[in-house]
Amino acid sequence: MYFLVDLENVHDSGMHGSEYLNSSDHVIIFFSEAAKTLETRYLDNIKNSGAKFEICRLKVVRKNALDFYIVTKAGEIFGTGYTGAVGVITHDTGFLSARDYWADCADPPRKLVLGENFEKVLISANLGDQRTRLLHTITKRADIGNYYSAYQESQRIFRQLEELFAGTEYIPRIAEIKEFMEGSKGKSAKVVYLDTLRHFGRKDGLAVYRQLKAMGK
């Protein structure tokens, strides 16, 4: 996917989500003398992702000059026959017209996606890849009350396991045992028994299973 960054418009905030770039991406940062710096961590994200990286510096200051640069570059990219998505990272609503043109007037249509940062562009592009699924998951909104109730229950179980395995060699593995136990919810006792042996090995599995059984799990 192509990402065209309007740095003069978004500055550092536009780089949020750059950690999700990968080697199939192509990033072009459009900047001017008025906006020519970025926090090193964001530039490192691009470099370490393996994505192709370019910069384009404004030659002459004019009104909306970088916007015209970016729109022209998008046309150049699509003009090569590229059929993937091109993301423009900007707050500028003027790019909506360019998006509408490529979606409704071009033949064949092309996908120009707008967003205020890399994360928003990736979510809007909805490419269906692993990073998109991850972003949909971690940006899903949650009810704070319900989340906190689940957190409290998780803490209660952790403390209960600490008490159950106190003085045993399994104390350093409490978090692992808790995760295993939570993944066993709804399974029959026989399946849990076999899963415990497979996961922890016969000796440790038997010991863990006995304790979990005593706990009523």
The pLDDT tens digits of the residues spanning 115-124 come to: 999 999 999 9
pTM tops 0.85: no
Q: Tell me what the pLDDT averaged over the chain comes to.
A: 93
Q: How does residue 210 score in pLDDT terms, banded at 50, 70 and 90?
A: confident
Q: What is the rounded CA–CA span in Å between residue 67 and residue 179?
A: 50
Listed in sequence order, the residues at least 6 apart from 204 whose beta carbon sits closer than 8 Å to its beta carbon are 170
Q: CA–CA separation, 56 vs 18, rounded Å?
A: 18
- Cis status, amide bond into 172, omega within 30 of 0: no
Q: pLDDT tens digit string along 137-161?
A: 999 999 999 999 999 999 998 998 9
% of the chain beyond a pLDDT of 70: 99
Instruction: Give 147's Cβ-side CA count (13 Å radius).
Output: 5
Residue 217: per-residue pLDDT: 57
3-class state of residue 88 by DSSP = strand
Q: What is the pLDDT of residue 215?
A: 75
pLDDT at 205 over 60: yes
Average pLDDT over residues 34-63: 95
- Pairing outcome for strands 111-115 and 26-31: unpaired
At residue 70, does pLDDT exceed 90?
Answer: yes
Letter string b/e over residues 112-141, b meaning 16 or more CB atoms within 10 A of that residue's CB: bbbbbbbbbbbbebebeeebbeebeeeeee
> Out of 16-25, 104-113, 175-184, which region has the weakest mean confidence (pLDDT)?
175-184
Average pLDDT over residues 182-207: 89
Tell me the torsion sign for CA atoms 100, 102, 104, 110.
Answer: negative
Helix (H) or strand (E) holding 55: strand 52-57
- The answer, yes or no, to whether residue 216 has pLDDT greater than 80, is no
- For residues 75-89, give the mean pLDDT: 96
